[in-house]
Chains A and B, each alone.
Chain A
Amino acid sequence: MSQQLPGRDVVLNAAETGAVEAAAATTHRGPHTDVAVDLTQFEALIAADQRIEPRDVMPEAYRRSLVRQIAQHAHSEIIGMQPEGAWISRAPSLRRKAILMAKVQDEAGHGLYLYSAAETLGVSRDDLLDQLHEGRQRYSSIFNYPTLTWADMGAIGWLVDGAAIMNQVPLCRCSYGPYARAVIRVCKEESFHQRQGFEILWTLARGTDAQRAMAQDAVDRWWWPALMMFGPPDDESTHSAQSMAWGIKRFSNDELRQRFVDITVPQAQRIGLTLPDADLALDEESGHWRFGEIDWSEFERVLRGDGPCNATRVAHRRAAHEDGAWVREAAAAYAAKQRVQEPAA
């Protein structure tokens, strides 16, 4: 007897119907498919370092953890457009302006890849945006710091994007297929971001005394927040252990932070700027750069909403969303009109 063909209502990424509903439909189909059997397959795939795809059965906690992480990642990309977007009109040359616009456009694109990945887990983009606007989902606390000078464009590209790349590269091997694929695209595009940031600081450091001072000031302000981007220390990280076991995370927060410090210190030396840490010292034996105590109370404060820009970032994001509503409505009305005029062949 030939196999029954799957129904037409099953979409590739399961975004509309939802992986969860698909999973639920599977488990309710008959007596031979129960939850325990399905999770055995999930665990076997994880153990074999295989990818989980949207319509595979997965533990609800795995799905929820991914939604939280991917949404937070997507929100960070689109909120991250603001600190740099603020400098597009003030970029010092046409070349710098074109580059900055391309970079900010990339951040928007990265947000879109990631929202699409999140949607494969059965959540809607509209709902994720609502959660961002209502403060129910977070974005990286780094974007709650202000960009005071042009040199901040350099420090963000070099340090903030540098730290982001360090965090993201291992995510290219994340156990959840759509997330890994989205991050691969993000990483390919991100390396220009870091290099252009380095170039800005490199140029300023070779300029006038005032320009050099501006570059140093930017590095002084961004260094510690960049180190905080790797998240709390391993022994205080709430989600780490489970994420590692599920193959979502591949390296611990502290490991990645150390790696970032080790590659960044020589780069700072090369530019000729000082990293604002009196305790920074090379440990000859291990080859690692030892660094000072991170002020986690500041991290907690900014995460809680008391950073310099938390309120303005979310307010700006909401305003942009509301101001753009008429465009979405007009496009929908036009699409509806076209459908009436040209019935499908």
Chain B
Amino acid sequence: MSEPLWEVFVRASRGLSHQHVGSLHAPDAAMALRNARDVFTRRQEGVSLWVVPAAAITASSPDEREAFFDPAGDKVYRHPTFYEVPEDVQYL
């Protein structure tokens, strides 16, 4: 009997986004949340928890990585350092 897998996200403190911390098995969302509290926040590591069914996550595929992310490769003009400006101009 295999329980579904849940991905766990923790907000470490107010002002920060939730971050993936790991995964666990639980029969339902309520149990997943309780288990996540016991497994990932025993030392006050968080103020908020998300549990997401692992099967509900759509991920990019590693073998398509190059083609998928390449379009950003030749667009260096998206970075501020691409631009040449006189050195004596301030606050730029």
Contact = CB atoms under 8 A, between A and B. Distances in A.
Q: How extensive is the interface on chain B, given as a class?
A: 20 to 34
A6 B7 contact: no
B64 interface: yes
A280 interface: no
A193 to B, nearest CB: 13
Contacts of A109: 38-39, 42
Given A55-B61, A328-B1, A331-B27, A182 B22 contact: yes
- Most chain A CB within 10 A, of B1, B2, B20, B61, is at B61
A130 to B, nearest CB: 12
Contact of B55 (A11, A55, A106, A338): A11
B5 interface: yes
A11 B42 contact: no
A332 B57 contact: no
A209 interface: no
Nearest to A27: B63
A89 interface: no
A329 interface: yes
A189 B42 CA distance: 10
A331 B31 contact: yes
Interface stretch (A12-20, A156-164, A271-279): A12-20
A334 B28 CA distance: 9
Interface residues of A, number: 43
A125 B59 contact: no
A11 B39 contact: no
A126 B60 CA distance: 28
A168 interface: no
A131 interface: no
B1 A335 contact: no
Contacts of B58: 5-8, 10
A60 to B, nearest CB: 17
Interface string B12-26: 000000001011111
- Most chain B CB within 10 A, of A26, A56, A331, A335, is at A335
Interface string A312-336: 0000000000000000110110110
B72 interface: no
A335 B62 contact: no
Contacts of A29: 63
A186 B57 CA distance: 26
A3 B2 contact: no
A16 B5 CA distance: 8
A53 B60 CA distance: 13
A10 B59 contact: yes
B61 A116 contact: no
22 contacts: A3-B68, A6-B58, A12-B54, A12-B59, A13-B23, A16-B55, A26-B61, A57-B62, A57-B63, A109-B38, A112-B24, A113-B39, A116-B23, A119-B5, A124-B2, A126-B1, A185-B22, A328-B1, A328-B3, A331-B3, A331-B26, A334-B28
- 10 closest A-B pairs by beta carbon, nearest first, are A335-B28, A335-B27, A331-B27, A6-B61, A11-B54, A12-B57, A26-B63, A55-B62, A332-B27, A116-B23
Interface of A: 3-13, 15-16, 26, 29, 33, 53, 55-57, 102, 105-106, 109, 112-113, 116, 119, 124-126, 181-182, 185, 189, 328-329, 331-332, 334-335, 338-339
